[in-house]
């Protein structure tokens, strides 16, 4: 025994060092997931009831095979992009791979569309639509947070007076308690004609809006076009909540991206300048590619955070907006706390967990060639 310990002492020491972290992650990370799965197959109201099997999932999804094929459709979209990016230059015949990728893409879209309709026919519409509202919230929030954060970081990277002061100001929205910030935004986005935002847009001759109290899709508000379904976009109420999310995290993202900019060798910029490259060309060809690992990290964590968003949306909810602000966390909270259906809420959480993992994989597949991880 002593010989074995002496021979593998370095490995044993390493395992002992990481053991506390593994135990903590297992206790607070892995265990809740499996316990949630356990709860989801029981009728659980305060105390554990009878075993239900997949009954909760059937009530939520309406059709479990349809959900399986829906997930397969999502995976086919990932496969389509992976095949096109991986093999487009490896075959002499330049048509085969694009055509095959396109066929897989259309098959994936077909499976997603037809099985989504099948789930809506007999499933929990409130929960299923909450996934769409959450997708709206996540997409618009992340795009603007990362995009604006990158622009602000690049601006602060230049030789500006008072740079440290601006960096400090940028963190204020992030460190502001979510409930307090959301309460202030609730007043700013009020429906009264004398609300701050309505007075501001009135300067430009724009009519007062209901903001957080308006359940109309943004396409109808902006263009007067009535569109049903996914392409209608978020309601004006949800869009107002999205603006709060953008305000909260853009400065934080800018600070992280600024730290990434500081480690890019200045020689690259000097060489680009000597070659006559403009600032825009330098930004696109040097800055963005070298920041891609950080951008991917921010998009991935931001994606997960937006799907878990609750506090600010809960505070900014209004009855006039209907269910258009009911993102998936609000829906799960309603079943868990409002209706005391612990098992049902747990099943909703497990479904969200599966979808999040699929979408996280898709992000990695899309960005992996630009991450320099290999």
pLDDT 10s digits, 199-208: 999 999 888 8
Examine the pLDDT at 350 and tell me if it is beyond 90: yes
Dig out the tokens for 62 from the structure.
């309406």
Examine the pLDDT at 368 and tell me if it is beyond 80: no
DSSP characters for 110-166? Answer: HHHHHHHHHHHHHS-HHHHHHHHHHHHHHHHHHHHHHHHHHHHHHHHHS--TTHHHH
Query: What value does the mean pLDDT take over residues 208-220?
Result: 91
Examine the pLDDT at 373 and tell me if it is beyond 60: no
Q: Above pLDDT 70, what percent of the chain? A: 93
Q: Are the CB atoms for 242 and 141 separated by under 8 Å?
A: yes
Q: Are the CB atoms for 129 and 217 separated by under 8 Å?
A: no
Examine the pLDDT at 334 and tell me if it is beyond 90: yes
Average pLDDT score over the chain: 86
Q: Which residue has the higher pLDDT, 257 or 3?
A: 257
Residue 51 β-bridge partners: 42
pLDDT 10s digits, 33-78: 889 999 999 988 877 888 888 999 999 998 889 999 998 998 898 8
Query: What value does the mean pLDDT take over residues 296-319?
Result: 90
Examine the pLDDT at 94 and tell me if it is beyond 80: no
Dig out the tokens for 93 from the structure.
């015949």
d(CA 70, CA 75): 9
What's residue 1's pLDDT? 59
How buried is 277 (Cβ within 10 angstroms: 0-12 exposed, 13-18 middle, 19+ buried)? middle
R_g (Cα) of the chain, nearest Å = 25
pLDDT band at 194 (very low <50, low <70, confident <90, very high): confident
Which secondary structure element, helix H or strand E, spans residue 222, and what is its range?
helix 218-223
- pTM for the full predicted model: 0.86
pLDDT band at 83 (very low <50, low <70, confident <90, very high): confident
Q: Are the CB atoms for 299 and 287 separated by under 8 Å?
A: no
d(CA 84, CA 360): 19
66-80, 83-97, 241-255: which is most confident: 241-255
What's residue 44's pLDDT? 84
What's residue 339's pLDDT? 87
Examine the pLDDT at 6 and tell me if it is beyond 70: no
pLDDT band at 108 (very low <50, low <70, confident <90, very high): very high
d(CA 21, CA 34): 19
What's residue 230's pLDDT? 67
């Amino acid at each position: 025994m002593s010989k074995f310990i002496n021979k593998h002492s370095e490995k044993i020491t390493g395992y002992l060092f990481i053991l506390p972290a593994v135990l903590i992650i297992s206790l607070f990370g892995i265990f809740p997931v499996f316990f949630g799965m356990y709860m989801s197959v029981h009728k659980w109201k305060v105390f554990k009831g009878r075993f239900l099997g997949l009954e909760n999932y059937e009530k939520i999804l309406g059709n479990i095979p349809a959900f399986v094929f829906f997930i397969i459709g999502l995976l086919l979209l990932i496969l389509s992009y992976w095949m096109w990016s991986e093999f487009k230059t490896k075959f002499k015949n330049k048509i085969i791979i694009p055509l095959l990728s396109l066929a897989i893409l259309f098959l994936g879209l077909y499976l997603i569309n037809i099985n989504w309709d099948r789930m809506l026919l007999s499933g929990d519409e409130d929960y299923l639509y909450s996934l769409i509202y959450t997708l709206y919230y996540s997409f618009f929030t992340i795009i603007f947070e990362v995009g604006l954060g990158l622009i602000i970081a690049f601006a602060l990277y230049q030789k500006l007076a008072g740079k440290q002061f601006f960096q400090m100001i940028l963190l204020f929205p992030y460190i502001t308690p979510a409930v307090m910030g959301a309460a202030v935004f609730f007043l700013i986005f009020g429906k009264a004609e004398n609300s701050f935002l309505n007075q501001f847009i009135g300067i430009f001759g724009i009519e007062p809006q209901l903001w957080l109290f308006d359940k109309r899709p943004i396409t109808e508000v902006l263009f007067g076009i009535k569109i049903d379904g996914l392409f209608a976009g978020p309601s004006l109420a949800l869009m107002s909540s999205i603006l709060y999310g953008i305000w909260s995290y853009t400065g934080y993202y800018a600070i992280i991206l600024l730290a990434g900019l500081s480690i890019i060798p200045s020689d690259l910029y000097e060489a680009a300048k000597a070659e006559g490259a403009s600032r825009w060309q330098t930004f696109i060809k040097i800055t963005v590619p070298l920041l891609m690992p950080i951008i991917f990290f921010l998009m991935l964590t931001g994606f997960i955070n937006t799907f878990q968003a609750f506090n600010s949306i809960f505070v900014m909810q209004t009855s006039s907006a209907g269910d258009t602000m009911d993102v998936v966390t609000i829906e799960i909270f309603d079943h868990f706390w409002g209706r005391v259906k612990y098992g049902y809420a747990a099943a909703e959480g497990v479904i969200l967990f599966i979808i999040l993992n699929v979408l996280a994989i898709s992000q990695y597949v899309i960005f992996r060639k630009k991450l320099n991880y290999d």
